[in-house]
Amino acid sequence: MSLFKDRAFRWIFIALAAFKAAACAYVYFCNPLGESVLAFPDSLTYVYPAQTWLQYGQMWEAVSVAPMLLRTPGYPFFLALIKALLGNLTWAVVGVQNLLSLLLLVPVYLTARQLATQNAARWAVGFCAVSVLYFTLSFAVLTETLCVFLLAWSVYFSVRFLAHPRGRDLAAAAVLLAAAVYVRPAAYYWMFASAVILLCFCAGQLVHFPVRKILLFFVLPLVLCMAPWQIRNAVKTGFGGFTSVGAYNLYMWNEDYLARKGHVSVAQAHEALQQALPPGFHNLPAAQQVKCYKALAKPLIREGFLYKLTHAPLWAAKTLFGANFVHLSRLLNGGAAAEETLDEQMLNQTAAVHAGWLKGWKEKLLFCLAAGQVVVTVFLGFWGLWLVRKQHRAAAFFLGVYCLYFWMIGSTFFGAYARFRAPFEFVLCVGAGIAAEQLWQRRKGLFRRSK
């Protein structure tokens, strides 16, 4: 590829590859937590379906023989493929995910170069290379790294289409987006939003491309890609949706409100919600379970609406500026002892900052560096997207709505934190590269005038 002829890109790529190799070796040989540092509470819900698919040819829900419905098949299939090829479901997965996070530099570079200059693309790659979030998530048996890689390529082809409308770019964007949805269903509604945006661009003459071809090259591939899993769900479970995770979350996301109301821990509130399910709930057909979740969730949502509304700004800030420090500390230090359980710290973070992990000056310095990287990337990222609007109005609007979509859905409950910024941080890296190049040019101009 021509980008590897760019010496700056090549050096950043090589430096990041060397750093990742050293980090993998350090975590493998030196981390006292061993393999457990890679596992999260959610990991089993992906590993188990992968194992059942390899052994029985079917994906089942965690520790059951019920057809998998809460999760989607993309990541379990990814795990199963690695297990079949490399014989491992943890360290091999981490190795492949580190490779994917390294290759993420490619679509970031290409997208920035499409929107701005080669120097801006170099800056963008630099911001992506030093991302603490992408570094840590590549060491987790979770969906983010694979999903982000697919989304980054989908965004690149979308941006290239907006600049030079061609059907093959639009089709590539659609297929890659569908693959990302299979990995992480948080992207599900972005399919509809992006289709509407593209149709509006065509109607408003921002993009000169027939509407019928938008339907043919974008909407139709999405429908064809999504249909098989929904048909499978309808046949095997009686539930015709893509996943039941929305209904489950609608009910379980009331944990924080109930914990506050009852003066109990989030874990105790979670257990109370489980106990409130009707007898024999897990033996009900999937469609009835979904209806039951929604019915039980509605009064809780009405009751706790004001609480959630007043806390939404905090959750949005946690998603946007979270440094993922608990995970980073566990990777580098083996996990300093904190008082909360791991679930509370890493997946259901109710506190803005976990002071229990900031005991010594080394931890505090590491936190400041990680948080500083995030803050700089976020502010420069949004500024860069604002600058893009001058020459690429359609692309700037598309990328802005893309970031707002994933920011919004990642900030709607108390567990919001850095992990949910992953789907759009690479876009912020692109924007940050463009803004950094603008600042650099201004600095050079001031230096020339001062001579």
pLDDT number for residue 451: 54
Stronger pLDDT, 322 or 4, i.e. the higher one: 322
Mean pLDDT of the region 130-134: 98
Q: Measuring CA to CA, which residue among 302, 374, 364, 363 is closest to residue 135?
A: 374
The DSSP code sequence of 313-353 is HHHHHHHHH---HHHHHHHHHS----SS-HHHHHTS--SSS
Percent of the chain surpassing pLDDT 90: 74
Question: What is residue 397's predicted lDDT score, i.e. its pLDDT?
Answer: 97
Q: What is the mean pLDDT of the chain?
A: 91
Are 162 and 395 within 8 A, CB to CB?
Answer: yes
d(CA 429, CA 438): 14
Contact criterion met (CB below 8 Å) for 187 and 242: no
pLDDT at 443 over 80: no
User: Is pLDDT above 60 for 439?
Assistant: yes
pLDDT for res 450? 57
Which distant-in-sequence residues (6+ apart) come within 8 Å of 261 by Cβ? 304
pTM for the whole structure: 0.95
Report the distance separating Cα 171 and Cα 154, nearest Å. 10
Question: Above pLDDT 70, what percent of the chain?
Answer: 93
Mean pLDDT of 261-273: 89
Regarding predicted confidence, which is higher, 128 or 2?
128
Does 441 score more than 90 pLDDT?
Answer: no
Q: Are 186 and 406 in contact (CB under 8 A)?
A: yes
Q: Is the pLDDT of residue 257 over 80?
A: yes
Q: What pLDDT, on the 0 to 100 scale, is given for residue 128? A: 98
User: For the packed helices 393-409 and 422-450, what is the interaxial angle rounded to 10 degrees?
Assistant: 130
- pLDDT over threshold 90, residue 335: no
340 pLDDT tier (thresholds 50, 70, 90): very low
> Is the pLDDT at 337 greater than 70, yes or no?
no
Query: Quick one: the chain helix, strand, coil %, rounded to 5?
Result: 75, 0, 25
pLDDT band for 442, please (50, 70, 90 cuts): confident
Model confidence over 372-402: pLDDT tens digits? 999 999 999 999 999 999 899 999 999 999 9
**Residues 418-443, mean pLDDT to the nearest whole number:** 94
Q: Is the pLDDT of residue 347 over 80?
A: no
- pLDDT above 60 for 339: no
